[in-house]
Structure 1
Amino acid sequence: MDHLLHLDRTLDELDPPRWPPADADATRLIRKVHGLRHVPLGQLGPADLRVLVSQQVALPYVLPLAVRLLLNEPLLEAYFYEGDLLLAAVNAPASAWALLPDLGAQLRSSIVTLPEAAVADLPRGAAEELARFVAQHDSHRP
């Protein structure tokens, strides 16, 4: 299923059940995630995708959007630092990537072409996270 065909629909429409409004005393992050479920997919920006991926919300719909951005700019700074969206994506559960094997392969190919110096500039532990993602997916190849 091509999840990018639904760019005019929201996560609440595509990923039932619809979420109720966030509680009045909910954290800013919880209110943000609840609000993003009402935004059409095509209007989600890199920072929005980083939040949703990091919080593991509707990954079959948000990972394809994130990968689309990452294939053009792997070290895209979504909000906090260069490569933050990439690190959120590679830390998504293996079960989510199992549903999107072609996208995982494309992202893996993009990661292995990153210059060593660029990876070294990422936060501590990032190189290991990227290597783990590449190795995890390599072990599933026929």
Structure 2
Amino acid sequence: MDRLLHLDRTLDALDPPAWAPPGADATPLVRTVHGLRQVPLRALRPADLRTLVSQQVALPYVLPLAVGLLLDEPMLDAYFYEGDLLLSAVDAPTSAWALFPDLREQLCKVITSLPDSAVSGLPRGSADNLARFVTHPEPLP
């Protein structure tokens, strides 16, 4: 499947059914995610991808886009801190990664090449999460 084939389409179009508008009492995060489903894939910014990946929304479409950015800049500061998109990606469920073994392998190579100084600047526990992703295709209990 060509991963770039659908860049002009939205997640609502690619990942049916389209979501109904959020309720009046919806949180800002829910409103954001609903809005991002209506944005063409090519217009999604790194912060948008981080939000969608961390919320596990339409991962078959957004995970390859996120990895594409991470292969070029693994410590990308998408919104909160350097490496936040990377940590969101490695926390994606194993089932999502099973769809993209080649991307997972490429990301593993990038992670193992990160300097210790980059990893040490991440939040507590991040080094363990990165190591788990590289060494264990299945999540640990």
* TM-score, normalised via structure 1 length: 0.95
Measure the CA separation in 2 of the matches of 1:110 and 1:132: 14
Aligned residue in 2 for 1:18: 18
Deviation per CA, 1:102-142: give whole Å up to 9, x if none: 110111111000001110111111000000000123x8xxx
Aligned residue in 2 for 1:54: 54
Aligned residue in 1 for 2:99: 99
**Structure 2 unaligned regions, length at least 5:** none
Aligned residue in 2 for 1:74: 74
Deviation per CA, 1:83-109: give whole Å up to 9, x if none: 000000000000000011111011111
Q: Amino acid of the residue matched to residue 6 of structure 1?
A: H
Measure the CA separation in 2 of the matches of 1:106 and 1:127: 18
Please state how far the C-alpha of 1:3 moved relative to its aligned partner: 2.7
Q: Please identify, of 128-137 and 70-79, the stretch whose mean Cα deviation from structure 2 is larger.
A: 128-137
Deviation per CA, 1:26-66: give whole Å up to 9, x if none: 00000000000000000000000000000000000000000
Greater helix content: 1
* Native 8 Å contact 1:67 1:107 kept in 2: yes
Q: Which segments of structure 1 move beyond 4 Å, counting only runs of 4 or more?
A: none
Aligned residue in 2 for 1:127: 127
* TM-score, normalised via structure 2 length: 0.95
**Structure 1 unaligned regions, length at least 5:** none
Measure the CA separation in 2 of the matches of 1:21 and 1:3: 28
Q: Amino acid of the residue matched to residue 113 of structure 1?
A: S
Please state how far the C-alpha of 1:2 moved relative to its aligned partner: 2.4
* Native 8 Å contact 1:21 1:34 kept in 2: yes
Aligned length: 138
Q: Amino acid of the residue matched to residue 100 of structure 1?
A: F
Measure the CA separation in 2 of the matches of 1:131 and 1:4: 29
Aligned residue in 1 for 2:110: 110
Aligned residue in 1 for 2:84: 84
Identical-pair percentage: 71
Please state how far the C-alpha of 1:24 moved relative to its aligned partner: 1.2
1:131-142 mapped onto 2 (5 Å cutoff) = 131-137=131-137
